[in-house]
Amino acid sequence: MTKRVLITGAAGFLGSHLCDRFIAEGFRVVAMDNLITGDLKNIEHLFGKERFEFYHHDVTTFVHVAGRLDYILHFASPASPIDYLKIPIQTLKVGSLGTHNLLGLAKEKKARILIASTSEVYGDPLVHPQREDYYGNVNTIGPRGVYDEAKRFQESITMAYHRFHGMETRIARIFNTYGPRMRLNDGRVIPAFIGQALRGEDLTVFGDGQQTRSFCYVNDQIDGLFRLLMSDYTLPVNIGNPDEISILDFAEEIIKLTGTDQKIVFKPLPKDDPLQRQPDITKAREILDWEPKVDRAEGMAKTYEYFKNLSLEDLLKSEHKDFSKHIRK
Ligand code: NAD
Ligand code: UDP
């Protein structure tokens, strides 16, 4: 029988790519989003497909889905520092109350649930690269704490449901992922730099740019997540690309890629901005037989192509189309 999967955060960047993957794998997809940071344009191409349905719903309130569910992927949550600083209470609620609601639904439906955790659970890490057994270094009361602690709580409650109720749970610790359908104005470094290059603005490097990140192309990420869901492994697994680069070197790469004649300007480093980040993916390699295949040059070329083809209107501000006839209340 065709398997049915619920994906929350489905109109967002990762959620929309997950919808594509599960449709391509032959699943029935129930997509859910409250559109607080997402955009229906990301899943517009799926509307009208017999195996796809969309619910406009805030998962911090009781979540009801009629019929059976085999899998749940909980991806609803603001994900960029700009977004979660703008909506801190919603960020805390979707990671805590939202996760509680979805675990309750998974228990009721006897569904396997995968939750989207993050490298932010390691905070500003004192261990490098980050392995899953590192407990992290998080400032609970700093501005990023709303996201980091919500995600840490999310992991705790998920393990509690696994241990206490014997549920099938999966925890993905996702490291910086990029690709088409990121929101141009979400403030994350890749859309920020590309948007600046396309608009003819200087590239804003925060701090001295010596902080590092390791960027994973979206198709690799989605494949890792799919494998984790289908595996029988319950503890957290890092999913990301270990190819680490400083933000300053990355800005130089963007200047080359886009051919912009703009320069780099330095802005203050945001509070608690992690100074280094690189996943240790030994576990993913061993347990999921997974590793990233798309290098940064290839992934960034595809991503730039996507942003370049957006209209001027999109480049400045996302336009809103009327999708009301496709939405189930
Ligand atoms: P995104 O902002 O593009 O997508 C998040 C989606 O969740 C949006 O469509 C938003 O409208 C929806 N949403 C937020 N609150 C909701 C609520 N209360 N009810 C229903 N829908 C809600 O972000 P993304 O990059 O696609 O991230 C998706 C998930 O992956 C998040 O949980 C994020 O923490 C996690 N993650 C992403 C990355 C990354 O690099 N992209 C890294 C680590 C973790
Ligand atoms: N950053 C930057 N300029 C920008 C946006 C971000 O230098 O315009 C830096 C930011 O300070 C961080 C890194 O780029 O060190 C990655 O930031 P992002 O917001 O993408 O995600 P994070 O990994 O911090 O969650």
Q: Ligand 2 pocket: which of 206, 211, 265 to mutate (most atoms <8 Å of CB)?
A: 206
Quote the CA–CA distance of 182 and 307 in Å, as a whole number.
9
Which numbered atom of ligand 2 lies nearest the CA of 82? Answer: 19
CA 51 → CA 6, 36, 73, 85, 114, distances in Å?
A: 12, 25, 17, 36, 21
Distance 95 CA to ligand 2 centre (A): 22
The helix/strand/coil state of 44 is helix
- CA torsion through residues 80, 83, 86, 92, sign: negative
Of the residues 147, 161, 217, 304, only one is catalytic, namely 147
- Give the residue from 6, 309, 92, 58 showing the smallest Cα distance to 184: 309
Q: Is 174 in the pocket of ligand 1 (CB under 6 A)?
A: yes
- Phi and psi at residue 77, in whole multiples of 5°? 170, 135
Active-site annotation holds for 147: yes
- What are the DSSP calls for 177-236, one per residue? EE-TT--TTS--HHHHHHHHHHHT--EEEETTS--EEE-EEHHHHHHHHHHHHHS---S-
- Centre a 10 Å sphere on the Cβ of residue 289 and count the other Cβ atoms it contains: 9
Q: Is 236 in the pocket of ligand 1 (CB under 6 A)?
A: no
Question: pLDDT tens string for the chain (329 positions)?
Answer: 999 999 999 999 999 999 999 999 999 999 999 999 999 999 999 999 999 999 999 999 999 999 999 999 999 999 999 999 999 999 999 999 999 999 999 999 999 999 999 999 999 999 999 999 999 999 999 999 999 999 999 999 999 999 999 999 999 999 999 999 999 989 999 999 999 999 999 999 999 999 999 999 999 999 999 999 999 999 999 999 999 999 999 999 999 999 999 999 999 999 999 999 999 999 999 999 999 999 999 999 999 999 999 877 676 654 334 545 555 55
Cα–Cα–Cα angle for 91, 93, 95, rounded to 5 degrees: 70
Q: Count how many residues are written for the chain.
A: 329
Distance 75 CA to ligand 2 centre (A): 21
Which numbered atom of ligand 2 lies nearest the CA of 251? Answer: 7
Q: Is 206 in the pocket of ligand 2 (CB under 6 A)?
A: yes
Nearest CA to ligand 1 atom 23: 79
Distance 88 CA to ligand 2 centre (A): 18
